[in-house]
Amino acid sequence: MGCAKVIEKILIANRGEIACRVIRTARGMGIKTVAVFSDADAGSLHVEMADEAKHIGGARAQESYLNVDALIAAIRETGADGVHPGYGFLSENAAFAEACAAAGAIFIGPPPQAIRAMGSKSEAKRLMEAASVPLLPGYHGDDQSDECLTEAAAAIGFPVMVKAAAGGGGRGMRMIESAEALAEGLAGARREAKAGFGDDTLLIEKYLGKPRHIEMQVFADAHGNAVHVFERDCSIQRRHQKVVEEAPAPGMTPEMRAAMADAAIKAAQAIGYVGAGTVEFLVEAERMGAPDCFYFMEMNTRLQVEHPVSEMIAGVDLVEWQIRVADGESLPLAQDQIALNGHAIEVRLYAEDPARDFRPSPGPLSHYRTPSEGTHVRIDTGVRQGDEVTMHYDPMIAKIIGWDGDRRGAINRLCHALDETHVVGTTTNLDFLSALCGSAAFADADLDTGFIERHAETLFPDLREIDDETLAIAALAELIWNAESAGAAAGRSGDAYSPWQANDGWRLNDQGHIDLRFRDGEAELTVIAHIAAGGYELEFSGRRVTVGGHFRPDGRLAAQVAGHRFIASVVRHGNERHVLGPHGTRRLDRVDPLAAQASAGALGGRLTSPLPGRVVSVAVAVGDSVSAGQTLMVIEAMKMEHAITAPGAGKVEAVHFAEGDQVDEGAELLALTAE
């Protein structure tokens, strides 16, 4: 009796969070995993998580994650009998699927002909039309002459949308407003399509002014069964990049869902689909809920980035389903066994700078903290603290998903999770996501593809001034660090923890108070701290606030501010102070105490390290004369260099460290005498 072949070892032809995601499920199913990695990913989390890992080439995706020959060699060398392509890279490449099969490994994805059927938008629309899937009024024929396209546009009525048949995901698309603009528009669209995709075939559609993007998750097996796992609303996008995805879609009605599910399943069956797929629809926002308000847009023949929201509302593991179906099993559940439970919302945390048009902002994750996971919060990430977001790949750091019984609850869970997410080292869209999730417009589900532009004013919170609690927490942390380093430096002194032992260049004023200076963007803030019972009294912006607290063993600060208890993290990154506390992540810059001293015209005599680090270079020797501002030593800390400069003209009396030495925060580096 023959035994069905069962996948025993899966090679994941991908990286980052989706590779980690697939490994987790495979491991849970008792299947071995093989990671592949580029030069840039040798130390990555997905490599660490997998049972085996294979180097496949250079950092550039073309040399590694898109390198079919290297991947096939890795499949052969490791004996992998299954290949999961993840999303992106080669996930929708029919030739790669065929090459995997030829190498003896099951491609965990649809059959190559199903991938090809959806590769051309015109071809896909003809197939969908034949399967009576609703399409926008339009033209997707072979006759590409100007006469034919002009006639078609006139019949559809302006404005029209012209799209490249070989395009997708918003690339190679332009709106044409009038018959007069058509000839030029067609010529431009053809040039772009030819240059972008090597194919200038165009299609024309009626233009939808205020669309929503709603997609249906479908799943088919090789035995003729097909189900849907409800819809996802991905209307909040910018530049065709999804920012928020949720399930179910707000405003969905049972009638519309039934019609959309029917259309999606017909679409899958029309192309002989097997596995996980997504059928995307454009929806007329004004007619949301009506059973005929949606139109087929594209079908994605892969697992999507946003699949977790479907998993959370349906309580299924879509990767497990993919593996089972690829193995020849029937779908684990029938349609009437798949129930919709609650509401899930996902946001994509990116290393990008919202203030600079969301440009990627690669860099080290010097500090990275994600909220704890459970029933209500899921985090899919592929990086750890200390890892680097490189410029070579998509700069996504994590997907953060909130779930609850209803949409309001899911928003609350997600907002809370975002408040507990901290990233220092690279600029991220975290504050933007927090503002978005906390906005009234999002609560009202005012969704369509123009959401971000329409609400830009509320979504870019960079201009907020720092709040008093955050400033008090930053000052408290500074005071505690100072007391600790003073204690360490004072060593034998009787009162080791007295802040008056501080020697790191702070100005101790005659009246016995400490001046702390910060910068918040352009604004300079001064906090005056007085010793008080059990802590300090802070004076700033016309207020007096009593603060106290301590760092807990986990490194977080338990702070008491005006009788109110907060738990916060205060992360030092050079002079930056990132307060991850009651008001999300806020950044202050500490005004360099040495520079501050110099500007005050005083020469302290001793120069100390502003933070723990390593001596990169020593620029002076004992006996040298130095002038104000001259660099004396360079300290590297957290991958940043800090110059220690002379606060005034003087003579070097002592140099306490040499190149390569480690220094503690507050350690005395050099001694100067004033000249």
Q: Which residues bind ligand MV4 (CB under 6 A)?
A: 136, 161, 169-170, 205-208, 211, 213, 237, 240, 282, 297-298, 449
Other CB atoms within a 10 A radius of the CB of residue 104 amount to 11
User: From start to end of 352-465, where are the E strands?
Assistant: 352-353, 359-360, 363-364, 367-369, 377-381, 388-389, 396-404, 422-424
Distance between CA 296 and CA 282 in Å, rounded?
7
Confirm whether 302 is a catalytic residue.
yes
Minimal distance, residue 172 CB to ligand MV4, in Å: 9
Minimal distance, residue 240 CB to ligand MV4, in Å: 5
Minimal distance, residue 135 CB to ligand MV4, in Å: 10
CA torsion 444-447-452-453 (nearest 10°) is -110
Residue in 80, 36, 79, 84 with CA at minimum distance from that of residue 61: 36
Minimal distance, residue 81 CB to ligand MV4, in Å: 35
Secondary structure (3-state) at 181: helix
Minimal distance, residue 289 CB to ligand MV4, in Å: 18
Nearer to ligand MV4, 169 or 521 (CB): 169
Nearer to ligand MV4, 87 or 207 (CB): 207
Distance between CA 257 and CA 251 in Å, rounded?
10
Phi-psi region of 125 (alpha: psi -120 to 50; beta: other; left: phi over 0): alpha
Residue in 61, 65, 101, 55 with CA at minimum distance from that of residue 81: 101
Minimal distance, residue 667 CB to ligand MV4, in Å: 55
Nearer to ligand MV4, 205 or 665 (CB): 205
Nearer to ligand MV4, 206 or 416 (CB): 206
Distance between CA 17 and CA 13 in Å, rounded?
12
Minimal distance, residue 105 CB to ligand MV4, in Å: 31
Secondary structure (3-state) at 620: coil
Specify whether the CB–CB gap between 369 and 569 falls below 8 A: yes
Phi-psi region of 342 (alpha: psi -120 to 50; beta: other; left: phi over 0): left
Distance between CA 192 and CA 173 in Å, rounded?
9
Distance between CA 442 and CA 454 in Å, rounded?
12
Q: Which helix (H) or strand (E) holds 474?
A: helix 468-490
Active-site position among 302, 378, 517, 577 = 302
Nearer to ligand MV4, 206 or 369 (CB): 206
Distance between CA 132 and CA 369 in Å, rounded?
49
Nearer to ligand MV4, 298 or 346 (CB): 298
Other CB atoms within a 10 A radius of the CB of residue 458 amount to 14
Specify whether the CB–CB gap between 421 and 447 falls below 8 A: no
Q: Which amino acid is at 465?
A: E
Nearer to ligand MV4, 206 or 583 (CB): 206
Nearer to ligand MV4, 136 or 603 (CB): 136
Task: Please enumerate in sequence order all residues whose Cβ is within 8 A of that of 535, keeping only pairs 6 or more positions apart, or say none.
Answer: 476, 546, 547, 548, 549, 560
Minimal distance, residue 287 CB to ligand MV4, in Å: 14
At 672, list the tokens: 């100067």
Minimal distance, residue 161 CB to ligand MV4, in Å: 4
Nearer to ligand MV4, 238 or 651 (CB): 238
Looking at the annotation, which residues are catalytic? 302
